[in-house]
């Protein structure tokens, strides 16, 4: 197991280098620069700023300098935030995004898994049909559409919840719901399909023939063996939720890393764009590794050499 974890962590380096290379290239292919705004800077001032931040160098040299700083743990500074370190910007935004995403993940898993399991155990009943209806509606609504519907109903019409901000329970209700409904529907669908497949296995029939209680069969055989596909989808879902939702954070004016990333793209803030992209890549790799490790605890037959 330790060898497997070290091997996966070593692969993190080439993954981050590849992400940095692609992001750097695409970032500089987009027209415009960090000093473009409604009020154009004088050519002399723009030249001085480019010289100060090394933007007057050839692009390959800029990229090599960035990788050299990155190897020392330096993500650079923000051009638009008074030279504030990118690492500090990411840390401040990540704390909010992690909190929002973790709560949304708990809601999605806590609702999606039981609903999918119950639908599989009560196949072709009213409960199963209601589950399929929820999955169909939830999976067809993007999070930003759900967010706008919630804003219209609970803020504009009923005046029950605040439209924006972060820091109180009432401010978190609509963003959490907007983020969690779609992944909850997806997790529910995968759980139902996985559990139905396990329920058809011979060892489940054998357990019932031996007279084991249905509760024991479900918990010991069905749930445990049916969780492998569910864990597989929970990994990317968790990474997407915990690292922040760009549109939802922007829609509800939440000071998370997703909103920071959106504003940095509009401002051509190269340091923040590179730093947040690498942070996202790191979190996705980390969550996938955690899911692979959880496989061993869910299914003892899995062993990593």
Residue of 220, 221, 232 whose CA lies nearest to 191:
232
Among 293, 238, 192, 224, residue whose Cα is nearest residue 98: 238
Q: What gap in Å lies between CA 139 and CA 143, rounded to an integer?
A: 10
Q: Is 255 exposed, middle or buried (0-12, 13-18, 19+ CB in 10 A)?
A: middle
N residues, the chain: 305
Q: Which residues of 86-107 are buried (b: 16+ CB within 10 A; e: fewer)?
A: beebbeebbebbbebbebbbeb
Q: Let me know: does 305 contact 10? Beta carbons within 8 Å.
A: no
Got the DSSP string for 224-292? HHHHHHHHHHHHHHHHHHHT--HHHHHHTT--SHHHHHHHHHHTT-HHHHHHHHHHHHHHHHHHHHHHH
Whole-number Å distance between alpha carbons of 227 and 297: 11
Distance of CA 286 to the CA centre of its chain: 12
User: What count of Cα atoms within 13 Å lies in the side-chain half-sphere of residue 178?
Assistant: 29
Task: Kindly list the structural domains of the chain, giving each domain's residue range(s) and its CATH number in brackets, ordered by start.
Answer: 86-298 (1.10.3720.10)
Would you say 283 and 240 are in contact if contact means Cβ atoms under 8 Å apart?
no
Per-residue pLDDT tens, the chain, 305 aa: give them.
Answer: 677 777 777 788 888 889 999 999 988 888 777 777 656 677 787 788 778 888 888 888 889 988 888 888 888 888 877 778 888 888 888 888 888 989 999 999 999 999 998 998 888 889 889 988 888 888 888 888 888 999 999 988 888 888 888 888 888 999 999 999 999 999 999 999 888 888 888 888 888 888 878 778 887 778 877 888 888 888 778 877 876 577 888 888 888 888 888 888 878 888 889 998 898 888 888 887 887 777 777 666 666 55
Question: The pTM is what?
Answer: 0.79
Angle of helix 224-242 relative to helix 169-199, nearest 10 degrees, comes to 150
What's the CA dihedral at 241, 243, 244, 246 to 10 degrees? -110
């Amino acid at each position: 197991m330790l060898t497997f974890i070290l091997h996966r962590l070593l692969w993190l380096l080439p993954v981050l280098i590849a992400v940095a290379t692609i992001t750097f290239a695409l970032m500089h292919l987009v027209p415009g620069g960090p000093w473009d705004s409604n009020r154009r800077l004088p050519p002399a001032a723009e030249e001085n700023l480019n010289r100060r931040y090394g933007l007057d160098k050839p692009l390959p040299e800029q990229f090599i300098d960035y990788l050299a700083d990155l190897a020392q743990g330096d993500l650079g500074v923000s051009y638009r935030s008074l030279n504030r370190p990118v690492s500090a910007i990411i840390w401040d935004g990540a704390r909010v995004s992690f909190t929002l995403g973790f709560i949304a993940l708990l809601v999605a898993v806590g609702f999606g898994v039981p609903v999918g399991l119950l639908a599989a155990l009560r196949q072709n009943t009213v409960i199963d049909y209601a589950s399929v209806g929820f999955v169909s509606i939830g999976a067809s609504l993007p999070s930003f559409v759900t967010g706008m519907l919630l804003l219209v109903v609970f803020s504009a019409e009923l005046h029950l919840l605040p439209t924006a901000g972060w820091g109180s329970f009432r401010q978190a209700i609509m963003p959490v719901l907007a983020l969690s409904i779609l992944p909850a529907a997806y997790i529910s669908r995968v759980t139902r399909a996985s559990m139905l497949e396990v329920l058809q296995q011979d060892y489940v029939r054998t357990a019932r023939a031996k007279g084991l209680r249905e509760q024991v069969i479900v918990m010991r055989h069905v749930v445990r063996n049916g969780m492998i596909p569910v864990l597989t989808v929970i990994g990317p879902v968790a990474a997407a939720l915990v690292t922040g939702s760009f549109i939802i954070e922007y829609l509800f004016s939440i000071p998370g890393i997703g909103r920071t990333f959106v504003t940095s793209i509009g401002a051509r803030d190269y340091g923040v764009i590179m730093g947040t992209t690498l942070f996202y890549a790191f979190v996705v790799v980390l969550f996938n590794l955690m899911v692979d490790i959880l496989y061993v605890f869910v299914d003892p037959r899995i062993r990593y050499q």
